[in-house]
Amino acid sequence: MHDLKFIRENPEEFDRLMTVRGGAAAGAEILALDEKRRALQTGIQTMQARRNLVSREVAERMKQGDAAAASGLTAEGQELKERIAAAETEERDCARSLEQLLETLPNLPRPEVPEGQDESGNVEVRRWGDPRRFDFPPRPHYETGEGLGLLDFNAAGRISGTRFVILRGALARMERALANLMLDMHVSVNGYTEILPPALVRDDALYGTGQLPKFQEDLFRAGDGHWLIPTSEVPLTNLARDRIWNAAELPLRFTAWTPCFRSEAGAAGRDTRGIIRQHQFSKVEMVSVTRPDQSDAELERMTACAEGVLKRLELPYRVIILCTGDMGFGATKTYDIEVWFPSQETYREISSCSNCGDFQARRMGARFRPEGGGKGTSLVHTLNGSGLAVGRTMAAILENCQTADGGIVIPEALRPYMGGMERIDP
């Protein structure tokens, strides 16, 4: 949600930033609704003051025995009551229209974010690791997994339909091993607090992080007022909602391994084979809640934490900064980490780390009290990042660590989590 004060003071800049985000200029409509709402509020206050004065005058006239004057004032008071009720209804409708407009508009980009319309405007920041040179044609991850008999798309299709998979044997164990490696790193090395959150959340939780109302079609509704989480960013970030934190308590850092559920409504025809884009997948998430002056450094730290997992697994990757037209709805700045996929000879996203500024905090009512106390409070900043998507990490291992005979060499860092297993042989 946006700061109305900023829009009032910078309407042209607001429209410019909305335009580079790929949206429409909405400043004039916002200001018109805001001015109308404030005028109605002023009118209501004026009428309420007059009604209170009339009530006192009625009592005074009755004491004086002036029934005629009291009757006239009573009639005025009744008229004021009706006019106030009508104005309050109009003010609520106006406020709701303003809120509905604001809640559909994406966050504003930071000045250092490159301008661009789509992914072609993204800028590479750095690379790590050299892609492996194969002496045989590298297979796609799904061919290797199916060849080993450990990825079963057909059985999953009979049970659940497309974009599901059954993991068997060593790959089922690898899923668990990867998540445990990631959690151990984020908790023991990176200082995050591990959380086991619900996988079902209510409307207000999804509204707080920006998934509702704009992205309802991307979600799975579970019924009874609940939704399946598209990412544990939703419950983790909402741990800060409707709270006033002390500055000394910040930053808060949470991590969780959960199943995630996405309809992939906007991804028809993309990555239909393999485990890159599934309706159900697991992910280790990182969420930070910080003071505004901490959030820039926290984004760099969070991105480094996600990179650390890929370094441990010795998987080549690159980091890019997303341009204005490619960032997510709630982000003010985003780094994507892309891991190398040799079968495609390209890098594919495996983590996205975003600073949302106070955009989500304003929707959630998450604030903090500065050091030294006092009555004033300020909105916190929220950040989230994948640390990492477990299925995509497994896919990257199947591609980068494959052998000519169709097997897999397990990364050394993962072997203790797989009972010392070094290879998955065909």
Each domain of the chain, given as residue ranges in start order, spans: 4-102, 119-424
Q: Assess whether pLDDT exceeds 90 at residue 40.
A: yes
Pairing of strands 423-424, 408-409: antiparallel
Question: What are 55-64's pLDDT values in tens digits?
Answer: 888 888 888 8
Check residue 58 and give its pLDDT: 86
pLDDT reported for residue 371: 83
Q: Are strands 280-290 and 252-261 parallel, antiparallel or unpaired?
A: antiparallel
Task: For residues 415 and 343, give the distance between their C-alpha atoms in angstroms, rounded to a whole number.
Answer: 24
Positions marked active-site: 262, 277, 349, 352, 392
- Assigned CATH class of 4-102: mainly alpha
- CA–CA distance from 420 to each of 170, 228, 314 (Å)? 12, 35, 18
- Residue 127 burial (C-beta neighbours within 10 Å; 0-12, 13-18, 19+): middle
Looking at the predicted structure, is the pLDDT value of residue 141 above 80? yes
What is the band of 267 on the pLDDT scale with cuts at 50, 70, 90? low
Tokens, residue 279: 């309706």
Give 216-265 pLDDT, tens digit per residue. 999 999 989 999 999 999 999 999 999 999 999 999 999 999 999 999 86
Q: What is the pLDDT of residue 48?
A: 95
Range in 69-73, 199-203, 371-375 the model is least confident about: 371-375
Query: Mind listing the pLDDT tens digit for each residue in 380-394?
Result: 999 999 999 999 999
Average pLDDT over residues 348-358: 98
pLDDT value at position 64?
81
Q: How confident is the model at residue 270 (pLDDT cuts 50, 70, 90)?
A: confident
Q: Encode pLDDT of 180-222 as tens digits.
A: 999 999 999 999 999 999 999 999 999 999 999 999 999 999 9
Residues sharing a CB contact under 8 Å with residue 391, sequence separation 6 or more, in sequence order = 175, 275, 276, 278, 281, 282
Share of the chain above pLDDT 70, in %: 98
Report pLDDT for 265.
Answer: 64
Mean pLDDT for the stretch of residues 65-73: 79
C-alpha dihedral over 177, 180, 182, 187, to 10 degrees?
A: -170
Which tokens belong to 239? 């741990």
320, 336 contact by CB (below 8 A): yes
**8 Å CB contact between 131 and 385:** no
CB atoms within 10 A of CB 323: 23
Residue 122 has pLDDT above 80, yes or no: yes
CATH class, 119-424 region: alpha beta
Q: Is the peptide bond before 251 cis (omega within 30 degrees of 0)?
A: yes
Using pLDDT thresholds of 50, 70 and 90, give the confidence band for residue 71.
confident
The model's pTM is 0.93
